Amino acid sequence: MALALPSDLFAASSGDLKADDLVGVSFWMISMALVAATAFFFLEIQRVSAKWKTSLTVSGLVTLVAASHYFYMRDVWVTTGDSPTVFRYIDWIITVPLLMVEFYLILSAITKVPIGVFWRLMIGTLVMLIGGYLGEAGKLNVWVGFTIGMVGWFYIIWEIFAGEAGKINAKSAPPSVQVAFNLMRWIVVVGWAIYPIGYYLGYLTGSSPQDSMVLLNVTYNLADVVNKIAFGVIIWTAAVSESDKNTAKAN
Ligand SMILES: *C/C=C(C)/C=C/C=C(C)/C=C/C1=C(C)CCCC1(C)C
């Protein structure tokens, strides 16, 4: 039968992934991991108690939105060798606010949280991402964009450690939620720090554009594994342990 297609035809449908293309391979692997994580978070919704279901839904939405963008980013990279900056920032402008919603939900699972907390986290997010985008897109000097982005990020860190969000959690959360909240805070500090490092490696070291774009994309991709998948798993852990505790009490 003449049904067998030449293998380069298959490869051509998504560009031609080279075995030594580290960035391209990382785009493929992470897009699959994001798909798997999405299925996992959605399936686990039925296992946790009512007040945790929305948190798992949001985790699954973050990985779903990111998986879709990874397919596009992967194609841009594999076919052109360019950084998929526009897709990257479209992804972040949707997923980072969703992660902020997640913070708000974790706090709201325990106590009544003023809506102002949510809006302040959103404002910090917008400043951070708009500054970064203008720098990366060449609309602003790369250092100026970087600095604006850093200001937005520091503002978020301040809010979740010293601001109203930080105080609410310290006062009223049960231990497992406090553990989750603390881990999430360290994700925002340590996990999110990987992004400005990526920006720095991409634009501010003065090395060749090709090398810089490899470093930038590998670093951003690694950061997404930590901050989208691992972050979701942390929330899942808290949700399962809190739900099991409540079931034990009820029996
Ligand atoms: C799922 C995607 C996430 C969690 C993306 C987070 C992105 C950042 C924390 C980006 C931060 C940046 C700075 C702090 C300064 C320079 C510019 C950015 C946008 C890379």
What are the structural domain ranges in the chain?
A: 21-250
Neighbouring CB atoms inside 10 A of 162's CB total 10
pLDDT at 175: 77
Q: What is the dihedral of CA 184, 185, 187, 192, to 10 degrees?
A: 130
129 CA distance to ligand 1 centroid (A)? Answer: 6
Atom of ligand 1 nearest to the CA of 128: 19
195 CA distance to ligand 1 centroid (A)? Answer: 5
Does the beta carbon of 88 sit less than 6 angstroms from any atom of ligand 1?
no
Does the beta carbon of 227 sit less than 6 angstroms from any atom of ligand 1?
yes
pLDDT at 203: 97
pLDDT at 250: 63
Are 217 and 77 in contact by the 8 Å Cβ rule? The answer is yes
231 CA distance to ligand 1 centroid (A)? Answer: 15
Counting ligand 1 atoms within 8 A of each CB, the residue from 140, 189, 192, 234 with the most, and so the one to mutate, is: 192
108 CA distance to ligand 1 centroid (A)? Answer: 25
**Alpha helix segments (H runs only) across the chain:** 7-12, 22-44, 50-80, 85-108, 115-136, 142-161, 164-172, 175-186, 192-199, 209-224, 231-250
Atom of ligand 1 nearest to the CA of 228: 1
Mean pLDDT by 10 residues, the chain (251 residues): 49 70 95 98 95 93 98 94 96 95 79 85 96 97 98 95 79 72 86 98 93 96 96 90 77 57
DSSP 4: P
- Rounded to a whole number of angstroms, the distance between the first and last alpha carbons of the chain is 63
pLDDT at 7: 47
Closest-CA residue, ligand 1 atom 7, reads 195
Closest-CA residue, ligand 1 atom 9, reads 192
pLDDT at 9: 44
Distances from the Cα of 243 to the Cαs of 101, 124, 237, 248, in angstroms? 20, 32, 10, 9
Counting ligand 1 atoms within 8 A of each CB, the residue from 63, 129, 158, 197 with the most, and so the one to mutate, is: 129
User: Model-level pTM?
Assistant: 0.89
- Give, in words, the CATH class of 21-250: mainly alpha
pLDDT at 56: 95
Does the beta carbon of 195 sit less than 6 angstroms from any atom of ligand 1?
yes
Quote the CA–CA distance of 213 and 23 in Å, as a whole number. Answer: 9
Please give the helix or strand (H or E) that residue 138 lies within, else none.
none
Atom of ligand 1 nearest to the CA of 192: 9
Are 96 and 125 in contact by the 8 Å Cβ rule? The answer is yes
pLDDT at 106: 79
In sequence order, what are the residues at sequence separation of 6 or more whose Cβ sits closer than 8 angstroms to the Cβ of residue 124?
Answer: 152, 153, 155, 156, 159
38 CA distance to ligand 1 centroid (A)? Answer: 22
Handedness of CA 209, 229, 16, 13 (dihedral sign): negative
Are 71 and 27 in contact by the 8 Å Cβ rule? The answer is no
Q: Which two tokens stand for residue 40?
A: 């996992």
Distances from the Cα of 107 to the Cαs of 52, 171, 184, in angstroms? 11, 11, 12
pLDDT at 249: 66
pLDDT at 29: 96
In sequence order, what are the residues at sequence separation of 6 or more whose Cβ sits closer than 8 angstroms to the Cβ of residue 167?
Answer: none
Task: Look at the block and give the residue holding tokens 């996990």.
Answer: 191
Distances from the Cα of 108 to the Cαs of 19, 118, 209, 241, 248, in angstroms? 46, 11, 45, 17, 23
Task: Look at the block and give the residue holding tokens 């939900």.
Answer: 105
pLDDT at 10: 46
